[in-house]
């Protein structure tokens, strides 16, 4: 009975979501853009005209070519090239791939960390709860970018020389660690509500660890909010990655991400090679905007009261 | 019946949604006489609170009055401009909500909230309004009113807070109070006090009360007449004593289960199987027919209007002139299993 | 209360008036990197030397044609083959009031010859300094020292009593980032006084009212701001926030030239930019080749040399502002050998050489590179990584600010690095001693950070140091330069063309050593 | 009141100790300080001497104690990159960062709160919808891109505003201010917008959603049912209740502005602490990083205290002793 009810409810929930999606042109457009970004990024090696990360393919004589439709442009470089002769279009694809990989991996890391800590804090309560939430409070006062920079700096000190090869994981760690608080807070709240329900007490009688059964009951409850946080967090993570790369502490310059390209292009602000900054900048903003729109829509759809 | 204070005529409230228009209230008509206490009873979702909200003009969008009229003292108030309606709220119609804990703004002292309300409606200076506030608090039974007037809501217990809420509702001497589940959130021991207070105030000031509740017991103690709502419609309306003594609608019969004291102990109550339909899937014909123990063909086809049934009126084909003989339904008798 | 407020406001107005730009001859300028240290012997970087020369003076200096003229010494003579006598300028005072005497010269030369000094090369050949009287000093050399006077232009004189008072008799250990009083304070006899120093932000100097000389220019206040970002540097000049940019980005030159408020003074610099390779260690610090050092193999060095497309770098990254070269020094420097050609560019030959050397599949190595020192330094390094990738090398790039970079490569903590050298003495000997001679801790090989070492080369350089016969010496220099090119001791890249960009109202004298001599600057 | 403040102060001290511990761990255990401070001329004897001088041969808690004592005196050692005492470096750059952050915060508050209130009260008006869409764009635009765009338009194309730096500053005692000169004020405009814009959108969205939340509250419904005027309901009741959560989160946001200024300072070469910090990160200059961390934590703690006190003023539930309540 309860199962059937749950099934019916979840079906209604699903269809509500689907309905809201079908009737939100922004959400659909955002999803289309996002899917296109993901597709281009995932298929970068196949859809890109060039491989900008293969140094042997770069040729300085191709450097700073304007987009194909402008005088002096070369059709094999549709959006032009940067100072090293990298095809901008291909680099956007490959760079978006790095951005998305970093974003998704960091968000997964945050989610797992945050959900686990939230569950423990909410369930165990007392000092552990106080400690975890206090740490969360403290960390909340440090913006993600600062925490990420700090971790990056520490990684540099701990792994001199090896930093570049580990840059990706350092980024994931840095951005991931900086974002767990929101998840923990949401899950903790929900856990505290569930904690006193009878089935948790009953679980003890059956010899199941209450935390295990709670995880099973709490997780579906917080799925919606966590999904919303995660979506918006991906956008934040991508911006953070771009910012770190822009500051020159992100990925190595030989494998530029969108932020790196923007930084490179920044040096050509006066010399007329606007395409080096403009296209990666646009790609970044469009991708992040699409994700944010999706997140916004998801939040409204899951929480109709806020509309 | 004297000239009614409040009259609802064929009121219909709709919620336009993406799945089409939901009819939350349909064809609801009743009247409240001055000084009368009308109980409105039904399960949650039956439309009781919506009716109350519609009367004070605070239907939450996208809900809207789609048809019918609401008249106060013979004047239509359902189509008044925003500002005119605001002047009626609090001044002529007071309202009390379910949860006293959340009805008061936690950041302001109750005195400030009382004075603010009094001065909105009555031409009084600060000092006079404050004196009136103290008097009101005393009247609703708050001890040491002079001291407590400067306290904040969180310093009051639940029952005391509901008394404050009542004081706020009556501070401009309205002719009608809409009390939406005023006791639901309170302890049982407090409930009786609040009901007694409401009754006394109604009597003392000649104020009419529309008491919305799902609790038949409260109705039995308080109301003069009762309207039973089911799925957005009134299914039975009549004097309380009559309805309790001999409910005419099978649903009312079921509801009587909520007041054990008026039912003979030895008899087991009819349980109403199933739940009230959601507004999206109201069945054709009589909305109650899937759960009705006396259902017959006509119930599935046609929707019954309110029909005279002895001292009350009930929306049930059992009471249609042609059907009486054919179907021996609940007619002033308790139904046995 | 009200009175207090109005007092406050009037005080604010007063400060505003004072702060309003009143100095017509404030000269605000920028380049990409910051001053490294004010201890004049702790680093030998020409930009740093430039700044130190505003405060500290030398016995002799260059005129506008790079001829040696008096500065703190009024005249000099060679009284013996190994003894030079200098007559000092009388009545000169240090900025903090101490009189300038022979003791200060002796002290400064000893300090500059001490272990931690990074400018010993300017005293190569000098063994001692002796006071004759208060205004006479003898320099004792170990041989004839033909370019001694040119070397002395970069031997700055500090105050002995000041150094002793502030406990800076020892030279700052730059590599260890030692912090001494002399790093951020300066007390010379020069035309400008160091007024404030905020690392990375701003350095302010004021004209020395008690200077013994007469300035040709009219700059009374110098405000120097390092601006690392190329675009910001250009923007700052365009908007008039700075008056002068020492190193305008090549890509912005057309824009700057077309601006009516800006003028660009073009000129070559006596600087070559090159790549050095660790040729000493038996195993490279940053490579996947274990047990041997590929850079010890001439063929590998040749391969690296041939795989560089210098013309492409010139055309694209440098926008024509470079002259590709295979020679250690530039034509401005005495000893230049015009017969040394730019190495041929051939990927196929380079590949073949690598294969011959046993690295057919290439290898991994890290290239260290500054990112705020030479024109487009990091971009050139990036381009090199892709050029070398074409012959199979996997080159990782580690680019960093020069403050960090020089400390790293001076520690020899590198396998492959970029360096530029401008010959301050305008004589090839300086470059050979600093960059090519085996490092001996006594001034030779001070910037030979790849530890190239060839006994024949060392012998040649020693001969050059002592040879007084001009044609013979020139022939020796040519021999050394050719040997340097044949050995591929460095992968030479190009000579920088350094245009200086400034507001229209600024008049400067462009110098091939890329040093802005402030006392010649005019603000109109 | 005193009990409340003391409790808060104690919590603040605990927070500071935690952060100090993190900073201390960075300082003592990340990298090898002896190695970093020793040059090429160091001998093993020097190494032992320095280890002793730095107290690295002492037990852990003694080292931590010394660290905290030194930190309280503002001593965070010497920058590995610049070679100057960290405290001096930070002190030189503190005014620049504070002036920028405060201006940005004022901008964010002055524009964000009214915009949020408006969007909350009239959620369906086109202006509110436009503002919400714009705010989404604002959240999606990375700070550095905003800065670059502003420079491109106002410094490069139009030449109205300076592209970098603080302009002329005036020294008032130990404080250098750019607020008193024309060039200083002009230089402040673009960085302020760049830094404030993101916070502005956040505050606006926050105020709006809190406003919507409060407007749904029972006491607002009840206030309307009592016939109070829209003005009294919206601004008397709703706004004040909105303020409670807004104060907290805004307080935190403002604290983070100082740390956020890292990016803005980098883009505009603003000579503040953030620029110093970024350079410290790429150099792994641990003392600077540790000190900066402690400083940001201090700012956070101070702002939190202020927020708590503001709370205390706004919310009577904290102000009044619980014992006075008549419970049942």
Q: Which of C454, C428, C427, C432 is nearest to C443 (CA)?
A: C432
Q: Is B104 on the interface with D (CB under 8 A)?
A: yes
Q: Is D321 on the interface with B (CB under 8 A)?
A: no
Using CB atoms and an 8 Å cut-off, which of residues 81-120 of chain D contact chain A? none
pLDDT of res. D326: 38
Cβ of C397 within 8 Å of Cβ of A271? The answer is no
Q: Which of C301, C277, C493 is nearest to C379 (CA)?
A: C493
pLDDT of res. B18: 67
- ∠ Cα D303 D307 D310 (to 5°): 140
Query: A24-78: per-residue pLDDT in tens?
Result: 788 888 889 889 888 888 888 888 888 888 887 888 888 888 888 888 888 888 8
SS (H, E, C) C280-295: CCCCCCCECCCCCCHH
Owning domain of residue D54 = 2-72
Q: How many domains does chain D fold into?
A: 2
Query: Is there a domain that residue D79 lies in?
Result: no
Contact indicator for B20, B45 with CB cutoff of 8 Å: no
What rounded mean pLDDT belongs to chain D? 80
Domain stops at, among D20, D42, D72: D72
Q: Annotate B88-120 with DSSP letters as a single string.
A: HBTTTEEEE-S-HHHHS-TTS-HHHHHHHHHHH
- Which one has a higher pLDDT value, B133 or C404? B133
* CATH match of A15-306 with 3.40.50.720: no
User: Which of A103, A148, A150 to mutate: most D Cβ within 10 Å?
Assistant: A150
Interatomic CA distance for residues D228 and D220, integer angstroms = 10
Residues D47 and D182 in one domain: no
- Residues A1-11, mean pLDDT to the nearest whole number: 63
Is C294 a residue whose pLDDT tops 70?
yes
Extract the runs of DSSP E, i.e. beta strands, from C39-119: 60-62, 68-70, 73-80, 83-88
Is C444 a residue whose pLDDT tops 60?
yes
pLDDT of res. C241: 84
Architecture of domain B6-223: 3-Layer(aba) Sandwich (3.40)
Interatomic CA distance for residues D73 and C171, integer angstroms = 30
Residues D184 and D274 in one domain: yes
pLDDT-wise least confident of A156-170, C10-24, D17-31, D129-143: C10-24
Interatomic CA distance for residues B266 and A91, integer angstroms = 84
Residues D293 and D236 in one domain: yes
Task: Give chain D positions within 8 Å (CB) of A160.
Answer: 284
Contact indicator for A194, A218 with CB cutoff of 8 Å: yes
Is A306 a residue whose pLDDT tops 50?
no
Domain with CATH 3.40.50.300 in chain B: 6-223
Q: How far is CA C250 from CA A178, A260, C272, C319, in A?
A: 40, 21, 17, 6
pLDDT-wise least confident of A202-216, C401-415, D56-70, D246-260: A202-216
What rounded mean pLDDT belongs to chain B? 81
pLDDT of res. A15: 64
Domains of chain C in sequence order:
40-189 (3.90.76.10), 204-268+500-523 (3.40.190.10), 269-497 (3.10.105.10)
Distance between B181 CA and the closest CA of chain D, angstroms: 14
Interatomic CA distance for residues B41 and B51, integer angstroms = 12
Task: Give chain C positions within 8 Å (CB) of A83.
Answer: 316-317, 379
Query: Is there a domain that residue D83 lies in?
Result: no
Using CB atoms and an 8 Å cut-off, which of residues 111-140 of chain B contact chain D? 116-117, 120-121
Query: Is there a domain that residue D12 lies in?
Result: yes
A70 burial class (0-12, 13-18, 19+ CB within 10 angstroms)?
A: exposed
Query: C310-368: per-residue pLDDT in tens?
Result: 999 999 889 899 999 999 999 999 999 999 999 999 999 999 999 999 999 999 999 99
Q: What is the CA radius of gyration of chain B?
A: 21
Distance between D196 CA and the closest CA of chain B, angstroms: 31
Chains C and B touch (3+ CB pairs under 8 A): no
- Residues B208-234, mean pLDDT to the nearest whole number: 86
Is C35 a residue whose pLDDT tops 60?
yes
End-to-end CA distance of chain C: 47
Q: Is B147 on the interface with D (CB under 8 A)?
A: no
Cβ of D240 within 8 Å of Cβ of B116? The answer is no
Chains A and D touch (3+ CB pairs under 8 A): yes
Chain D residue nearest residue A240, CA to CA: D142
Interatomic CA distance for residues C466 and C145, integer angstroms = 6
CATH number, domain at D278? 1.10.3720.10
Q: Is B165 on the interface with D (CB under 8 A)?
A: yes
Distance between C323 CA and the closest CA of chain A, angstroms: 17
Is D104 a residue whose pLDDT tops 50?
yes
Band of pLDDT at residue D38, cut at 50, 70 and 90: low
Is C458 a residue whose pLDDT tops 90?
yes
Q: H or E element: which one contains B30?
A: strand B20-32
Chain A residue nearest residue D296, CA to CA: A142
Cβ of A60 within 8 Å of Cβ of C309? The answer is yes
Contact indicator for C209, C192 with CB cutoff of 8 Å: no
Q: Is C225 on the interface with D (CB under 8 A)?
A: yes
Chain D residue nearest residue B94, CA to CA: D226
Query: Is there a domain that residue D77 lies in?
Result: no
- Residues C76-101, mean pLDDT to the nearest whole number: 94
Residues D64 and D99 in one domain: no
Using CB atoms and an 8 Å cut-off, which of residues 108-137 of chain C contact chain D? 115-116
User: Which of C307, C364, C386 to mutate: most A Cβ within 10 Å?
Assistant: C386
Cβ of D300 within 8 Å of Cβ of A141? The answer is yes
Which residues of C lie inside 8 Å of A (Cβ-Cβ)? 229-231, 234-235, 238, 249, 251-252, 254-255, 286, 309, 312-313, 315-317, 366, 378-379, 382-383, 385-390, 392, 394-399
Q: Is B210 on the interface with D (CB under 8 A)?
A: no
- Residues B127-150, mean pLDDT to the nearest whole number: 88
Band of pLDDT at residue B272, cut at 50, 70 and 90: low
> Who among A146, A269, A296 is closest to D262 (CB)?
A146
Q: Crossing angle, helix A180-195 and helix A126-140, to 10 degrees?
A: 150
Interatomic CA distance for residues B245 and A281, integer angstroms = 78
Residues D231 and D308 in one domain: yes
Band of pLDDT at residue B335, cut at 50, 70 and 90: very low
Distance between B179 CA and the closest CA of chain D, angstroms: 11
Residues D61 and D96 in one domain: no
Cβ of B90 within 8 Å of Cβ of D326? The answer is no
pTM of model > 0.80: no
**Which long-range contacts (C-beta less than 8 Å, at least 24 apart) are formed by B76-79?**
B78/B11, B78/B54
Q: How far is CA D15 from CA A139, A179, B324, D10, D19, in A?
A: 10, 19, 80, 9, 6
Chain A residue nearest residue C234, CA to CA: A270
pLDDT of res. A108: 93
- Which one has a higher pLDDT value, C482 or B156? C482
pLDDT of res. A163: 58
> Who among A64, A164, A272 is closest to C396 (CB)?
A164
Distance between A223 CA and the closest CA of chain C, angstroms: 43
Beta bridge partners of C69: C61
Cβ of B106 within 8 Å of Cβ of D240? The answer is no
Is A249 a residue whose pLDDT tops 80?
no
Contact indicator for B207, B200 with CB cutoff of 8 Å: no
Is A106 a residue whose pLDDT tops 80?
yes
Task: Give chain D positions within 8 Å (CB) of C237.
Answer: none
Cβ of C313 within 8 Å of Cβ of A272? The answer is no
pLDDT of res. D6: 83
Band of pLDDT at residue C195, cut at 50, 70 and 90: very high
What is the percent of chain D with per-residue pLDDT over 90, rounded to a whole number?
6
Q: Sheet of C394-400: strands edge to edge?
A: C322-324, C490-497, C268-277, C416-422, C364-370, C394-400
What is the ipTM metric for this complex?
0.74
**Which residue carries 């005088």 as its tokens?**
A71
Q: Is C320 on the interface with D (CB under 8 A)?
A: no
Residues D117 and D43 in one domain: no
Cβ of A138 within 8 Å of Cβ of D212? The answer is no
Cis omega (within 30 of 0) on the bond before B62?
yes
Task: Give chain A positions within 8 Å (CB) of D31.
Answer: 157-158
Task: Give chain D positions within 8 Å (CB) of B172.
Answer: 227
Q: Annotate D254-316 with DSSP letters as a single string.
A: HHHHHHHHHHHHHHHT--SHHHHHHHHHHHT-HHHHHHHHHHHHHHHHHHHHHHHHHHHHH-H
Would you say the C-alpha torsion D150, D156, D162, D166 has a positive or negative sign?
Answer: positive
Instruction: Determine phi and psi for A305, rounding to 5 degrees.
Output: -65, -25
Contact indicator for C455, C487 with CB cutoff of 8 Å: no
Greatest mean pLDDT among B315-324, B327-336, C199-208, D247-256 = C199-208
Q: Annotate B206-219 with DSSP letters as a single string.
A: T-EEEEEES-HHHH
Q: How far is CA D277 from CA C179, D101, D288, in A?
A: 20, 16, 7
- ∠ Cα D170 D176 D177 (to 5°): 65
Within 13 A of C524's CA, how many CA atoms are on the CB side?
Answer: 8
Interatomic CA distance for residues C211 and C318, integer angstroms = 41
Q: How far is CA A167 from CA A163, C111, C194, D116, D167, in A?
A: 6, 44, 41, 39, 36
Interatomic CA distance for residues D180 and D178, integer angstroms = 6
pLDDT of res. A6: 66
């Amino acid at each position: 009975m309860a199962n059937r009810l749950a099934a019916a409810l979840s079906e209604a929930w699903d269809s509500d979501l689907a309905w809201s999606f079908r009737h939100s042109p922004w959400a659909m457009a955002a999803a289309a853009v996002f899917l296109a970004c993901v597709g281009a990024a995932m298929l970068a090696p196949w859809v890109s005209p060039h491989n900008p990360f293969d140094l042997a393919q770069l040729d300085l004589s191709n450097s700073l070519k304007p987009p194909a439709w402008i005088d002096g442009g070369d059709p094999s470089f549709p959006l032009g090239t940067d100072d090293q002769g990298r095809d901008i279009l291909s680099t956007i694809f490959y760079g978006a791939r790095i951005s998305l990989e970093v974003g998704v991996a960091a968000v997964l890391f945050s989610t797992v960390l945050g959900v686990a800590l939230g569950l423990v804090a909410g369930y165990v309560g007392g000092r552990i709860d106080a400690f975890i939430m206090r740490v969360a409070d403290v960390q909340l006062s440090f913006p993600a970018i600062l925490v990420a920079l700090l971790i990056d700096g520490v990684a540099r000190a701990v792994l001199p020389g090896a930093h570049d090869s580990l840059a990706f994981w350092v980024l994931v760690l840095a951005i991931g660690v900086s974002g767990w608080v929101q998840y923990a807070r949401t899950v903790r709240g929900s856990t505290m509500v569930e904690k006193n329900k009878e089935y948790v007490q009953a679980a003890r009688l059956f010899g199941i660890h209450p935390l295990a059964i709670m995880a099973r009951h709490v997780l579906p409850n917080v799925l919606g909010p966590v999904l919303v946080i995660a979506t918006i967090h991906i956008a934040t993570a991508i911006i953070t990655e771009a910012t770190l790369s822009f500051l020159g502490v992100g990925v190595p310059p030989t494998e530029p991400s969108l932020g790196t390209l923007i930084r490179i292009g920044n040096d050509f602000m006066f010399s007329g090679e606007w395409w080096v900054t403009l296209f990666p900048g646009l790609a970044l903003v469009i991708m992040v905007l699409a994700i944010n729109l999706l997140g916004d829509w998801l939040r409204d759809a899951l929480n109709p009261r806020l509309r | 019946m004297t000239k009614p204070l409040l009259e609802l005529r064929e009121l219909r409230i709709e919620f336009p949604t993406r799945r089409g228009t939901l009819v939350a209230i349909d064809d609801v008509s009743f009247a409240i006489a001055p000084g009368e206490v009308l109980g409105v009873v039904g399960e949650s979702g039956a439309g009781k609170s919506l009716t109350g909200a519609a009367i004070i003009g605070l239907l939450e969008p996208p809900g809207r009055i789609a048809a019918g009229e609401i008249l106060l003292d013979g004047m239509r108030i359902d189509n008044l401009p925003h500002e005119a309606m605001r002047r009626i709220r609090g001044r002529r119609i007071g309202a009390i909500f379910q949860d006293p804990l959340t009805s008061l703004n936690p950041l302001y002292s109750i005195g400030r909230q009382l004075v603010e309300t009094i001065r909105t409606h009555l031409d009084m200076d600060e000092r006079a309004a404050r004196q009136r506030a103290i008097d009101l608090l005393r009247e609703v039974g708050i001890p040491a009113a002079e001291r407590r007037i400067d306290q904040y809501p969180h310093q009051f217990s639940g029952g005391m807070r509901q008394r404050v809420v009542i004081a706020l509702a009556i501070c401009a001497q309205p002719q009608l109070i809409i009390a939406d589940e005023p006791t639901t959130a309170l302890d049982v021991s407090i409930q009786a006090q609040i009901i007694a207070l409401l009754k006394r105030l109604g009597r003392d000031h000649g104020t009419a009360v529309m008491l919305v509740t799902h609790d038949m017991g409260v109705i039995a103690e308080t109301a003069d007449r009762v309207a039973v709502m089911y799925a957005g419609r009134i299914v039975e309306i009549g004097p309380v004593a009559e309805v309790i003594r001999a409910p005419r609608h099978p649903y009312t019969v079921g509801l009587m289960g909520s007041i054990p004291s008026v039912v003979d102990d030895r008899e087991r109550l009819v349980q109403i199987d199933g739940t009230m339909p959601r507004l999206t899937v109201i069945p054709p014909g009589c909305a109650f027919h899937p759960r009705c123990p006396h259902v017959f063909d006509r119930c599935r086809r046609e929707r019954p209007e309110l029909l005279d049934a002895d001292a009350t009126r009930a929306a049930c084909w059992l009471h249609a002139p042609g059907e009486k003989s054919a179907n021996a339904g609940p007619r002033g008798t308790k139904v046995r299993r | 209360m009200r009175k207090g407020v109005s007092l406050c406001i009037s005080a604010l107005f007063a400060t505003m008036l004072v702060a309003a730009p009143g100095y017509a001859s404030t000269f605000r300028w920028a380049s990409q990197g910051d001053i490294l240290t004010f201890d004049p012997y702790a680093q030998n970087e020409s930009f740093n030397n430039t700044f130190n020369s505003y405060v500290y003076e030398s016995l002799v200096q260059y005129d506008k044609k790079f001829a040696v003229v008096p500065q703190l010494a009024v005249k000099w003579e060679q009284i013996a083959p190994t003894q030079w006598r200098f007559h000092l300028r009388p009545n000169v005072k240090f900025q903090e009031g101490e009189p300038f005497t022979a003791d200060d010269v002796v002290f400064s030369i000893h300090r500059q010859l001490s272990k931690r000094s990074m400018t010993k090369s300017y005293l190569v050949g000098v063994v001692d300094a002796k006071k004759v009287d208060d205004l006479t000093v003898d320099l004792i050399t170990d041989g004839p020292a033909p370019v001694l006077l040119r070397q002395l232009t970069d031997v700055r004189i500090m105050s002995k009593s000041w150094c002793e008072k502030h406990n800076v008799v020892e030279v700052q250990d730059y590599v260890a980032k030692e912090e001494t009083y002399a790093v951020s304070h300066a007390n010379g006899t020069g035309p400008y006084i160091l007024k404030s120093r905020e690392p990375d932000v701003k350095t302010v100097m004021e004209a020395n009212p008690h200077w013994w000389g007469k300035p040709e220019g009219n700059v009374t206040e110098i405000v120097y701001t390092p601006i690392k970002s190329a675009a910001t540097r250009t923007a700052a000049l365009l908007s008039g926030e700075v008056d002068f940019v020492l190193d305008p980005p090549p890509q912005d030159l057309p824009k700057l030239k077309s601006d009516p408020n800006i003028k660009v003074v073009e000129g070559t610099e006596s600087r070559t930019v090159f790549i050095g390779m660790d040729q000493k260690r038996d195993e490279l610090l940053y490579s996947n080749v274990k047990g041997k050092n590929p850079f010890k193999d001439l063929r590998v060095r040749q391969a690296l040399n041939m795989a560089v497309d210098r013309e492409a770098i010139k055309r694209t990254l440098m926008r024509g502002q470079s002259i590709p070269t295979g020679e250690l020094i530039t034509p401005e420097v005495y000893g230049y050998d015009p017969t040394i050609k730019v190495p041929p560019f051939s990927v196929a030959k380079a590949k073949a050489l690598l294969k011959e050397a046993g690295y057919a599949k290439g290898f991994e190595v890290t290239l260290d590179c500054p990112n705020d020192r030479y024109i487009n330094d990091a971009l050139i390094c990036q381009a090199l990584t892709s050029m070398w990738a074409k012959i199979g090398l996997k080159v990782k790039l580690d680019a960093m600010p020069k403050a960090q970079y020089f400390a790293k490569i001076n520690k020899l903590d590198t396998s492959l690095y970029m360096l530029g050298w401008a010959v301050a003495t305008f004589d090839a000997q300086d470059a050979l001693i600093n960059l090519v001679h085996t490092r001996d801790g006594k001034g030779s090989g001070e910037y030979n950070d790849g530890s190239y070492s060839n006994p024949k080369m060392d012998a040649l350089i020693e001969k050059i140091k002592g040879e007084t016969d001009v044609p013979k010496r020139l022939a020796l220099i040519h021999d050394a330069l050719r040997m340097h090119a044949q050995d591929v001791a460095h992968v030479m890249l190009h000579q920088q063309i350094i245009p200086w960009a400034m507001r229209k109202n600024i008049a400067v004298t462009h110098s091939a050593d890329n040093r802005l001599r402030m006392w010649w600057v005019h603000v109109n | 009141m005193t009990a409340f403040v003391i409790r808060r102060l104690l919590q603040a001290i605990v927070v500071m100790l935690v952060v100090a511990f993190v900073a201390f761990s960075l300082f003592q255990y990340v990298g090898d300080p002896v190695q970093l401070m020793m040059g090429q001329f160091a001998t093993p004897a020097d190494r032992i001497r320095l280890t002793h001088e730095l107290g690295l041969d002492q037990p852990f808690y003694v080292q931590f104690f010394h660290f905290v004592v030194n930190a309280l005196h503002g001593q965070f050692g010497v920058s590995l990159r610049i070679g100057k005492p960290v405290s001096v470096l930070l002190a030189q750059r503190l005014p620049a960062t504070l002036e920028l952050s405060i201006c940005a915060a004022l901008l964010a508050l002055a524009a964000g709160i009214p915009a949020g209130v408006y969007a909350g009260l009239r959620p369906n008006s086109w202006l509110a919808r436009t503002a919400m869409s714009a705010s989404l764009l604002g959240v999606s635009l990375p700070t550095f891109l905003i800065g670059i765009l502003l420079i491109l338009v106002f410094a490069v194309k139009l030449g109205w505003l300076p592209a970098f730096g603080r302009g002329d500053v005036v020294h008032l005692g130990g404080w250098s201010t750019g607020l008193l000169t024309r060039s200083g004020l002009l230089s402040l405009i673009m960085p302020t917008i760049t830094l404030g814009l993101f916070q502005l959108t956040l505050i606006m969205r926050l105020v709006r959603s809190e406003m919507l939340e409060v407007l749904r509250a029972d006491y607002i419904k009840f206030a309307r049912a009592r016939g109070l005027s829209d003005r009294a309901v919206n601004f008397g009741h709703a706004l004040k209740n909105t303020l409670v959560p807004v104060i907290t989160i805004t307080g935190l946001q403002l604290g983070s502005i100082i740390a956020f200024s890292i990016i803005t300072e980098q883009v505009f070469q603003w000579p503040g602490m953030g620029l110093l910090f970024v350079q410290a990160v790429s150099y792994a200059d641990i003392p600077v990083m540790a000190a900066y961390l402690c400083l940001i934590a201090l700012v956070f703690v101070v702002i939190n205290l202020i927020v708590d006190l503001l709370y205390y003023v706004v919310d009577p539930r904290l102000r009044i002793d619980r014992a006075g309540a008549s419970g049942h």
